[in-house]
């Protein structure tokens, strides 16, 4: 029971963190009240454009799942109309806004006056904290003279019941400042500065909607047991192969998320295919290790494998079978007695001995020696 009660308390405490924050944006002046004028511009038009851009960024931030926060956005005016100061504060209070952010531009009789400044009703508290962040981000965005974080008894700061700040973009009466106020690109940067300020105020990392990466990359090296392979080729998903860089390195960028296959090839090596999974905004690192192919052993080919070495030379009929035979002088050779048929002992004819060539002559000679040895043994 105690465990269930604790879970309920945690859920109730965590719920506000997931809720949308209601931001009321207040474009200064409007209608018959042009605000400051100078350099062919009126303040009411400049600040309405910046506020509309700020609103669009907050809406996009809510829709972007890649980062940022969740917002509900209201404007005290969204067209060229006059709204009293009291009506602006009452509107924000009635809507239960979490924060009130007012945008103006300065003007002064001396055109040399320049720079940017931001106000809160009092020092301390969330209003002053938000003021400080807006000033910091605008200095980063436009690089103007820092006129500081200030306090003022402005009605929209005094009468609003939620933390509030009022920012003066620049001096419309100063030529240098006016160039920023007139620029679409710089107006967009001012809107982004306000977005980053409110994100940081609620402990959300500064994030520009739509900036989440949609592709990834894969990088690696092609090596073998000896190190990087010069001249290796790599390809992704069967596309045209590219040569690796110095040290065997390669990279494929702008790769859609998902599963892919990298193939590496090199002369005298077995090719390798390696699967790789790509995550948006990340670079997958891989190593392609190729196996060298062992060269075949060198065998001297026969220049004419079909050629015949030719017939053996015919034996010489007049050759002495003892020619070329080295007889051991220690042997007491005796004539070999004739066999019953008048040939050599052992039943072999002399003609047969001669027809075998020198090789057979050696055999018969040895047989004759053996027969003589046996004869002596019997007579002994």
Kindly list the catalytic residues.
168
User: Under a CB-based contact definition with an 8 Å cutoff, are residues 105 and 168 in contact?
Assistant: yes
Contact yes or no for 255/278 (Cβ under 8 A): yes
Residue 102: name the closest of 33, 50, 173, 137 by CA.
50
Cβ–Cβ under 8 Å, residues 93 and 123: no
Helices (H), 143-272: 155-158, 175-182, 184-201
Cα distance between residue 103 and residue 165, in whole Å:
9
Number of other CB atoms surrounding residue 282 within 10 Å: 14
Structure tokens at 241: 């192969």
CB atoms within 10 A of CB 152: 12
Q: In whole angstroms, give the CA distance from residue 195 to residue 143.
A: 17
Give the rounded distance of the alpha carbon of 313 from its chain centre. Answer: 79
d(CA 265, CA 243): 10
| Angle, helices 184-201/125-142, rounded to nearest 10 degrees | 150
Say how many C-beta atoms besides its own lie within 10 A of residue 173's C-beta: 22
CB 24 within 8 A of CB 72: no
Q: Which residues pair with 222 in a beta bridge?
A: 288
Q: Which helix (H) or strand (E) holds 33?
A: none
Helix axes 175-182, 184-201, angle to 10 degrees: 80
CA distance 134 to 163: 13
Report the distance separating Cα 183 and Cα 39, nearest Å: 13
Maximum Cα interatomic distance, the chain, rounded to a whole number of Å: 161
């Amino acid at each position: 029971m105690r465990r269930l009660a604790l879970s309920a308390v945690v859920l109730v405490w965590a719920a506000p963190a997931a809720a949308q924050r209601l931001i009321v944006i207040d474009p200064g002046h409007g209608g018959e009240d042009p605000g400051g004028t100078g350099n062919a511009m009126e303040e009411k038009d400049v600040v309405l454009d910046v506020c509309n851009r700020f609103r669009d960024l907050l809406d996009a931030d809510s829709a972007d799942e890649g980062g940022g926060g969740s917002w509900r956005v209201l404007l005290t005016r969204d067209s060229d109309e006059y709204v009293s100061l009291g009506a602006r504060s009452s509107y924000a209070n009635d809507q239960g806004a979490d924060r009130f952010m007012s945008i103006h531009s300065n003007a002064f009789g001396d055109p040399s006056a320049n720079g940017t400044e931001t106000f809160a009703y009092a020092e301390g508290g969330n209003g002053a904290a938000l003021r400080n962040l807006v000033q910091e981000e605008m200095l980063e965005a436009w690089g103007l003279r820092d006129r500081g974080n200030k306090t003022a008894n402005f009605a929209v700061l005094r009468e609003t019941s939620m933390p509030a700040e009022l920012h003066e973009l620049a001096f419309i009466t100063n030529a240098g400042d006016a160039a920023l106020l007139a620029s679409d690109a710089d107006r967009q940067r001012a809107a982004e500065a306000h977005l980053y300020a409110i994100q940081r105020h609620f402990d959300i990392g500064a994030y520009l909607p739509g900036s989440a990466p949609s592709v990834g990359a894969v990088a690696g090296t092609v090596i073998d047991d000896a190190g990087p392979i010069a001249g290796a080729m790599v390809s992704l998903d069967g596309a045209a192969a590219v040569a690796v860089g110095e040290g065997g390195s390669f990279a494929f960028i702008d790769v859609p998320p998902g599963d892919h296959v990298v193939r590496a090839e090199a002369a005298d090596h077995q090719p390798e295919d390696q699967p790789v999974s790509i995550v948006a905004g990340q670079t997958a690192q891989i190593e392609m290790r190729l196996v060298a192919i062992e060269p075949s052993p060198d065998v001297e080919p026969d220049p004419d494998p079909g050629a015949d070495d030719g017939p053996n030379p015919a034996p010489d009929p007049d050759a002495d079978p003892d020619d070329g035979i080295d007889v051991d002088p220690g042997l007491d050779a005796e004539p070999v007695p004739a066999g019953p048929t008048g040939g050599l002992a052992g039943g072999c004819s002399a003609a047969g001995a001669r027809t075998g060539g020198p090789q057979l002559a050696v055999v018969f000679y040895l047989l004759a020696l053996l027969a003589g040895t046996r004869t002596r043994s019997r007579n002994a």
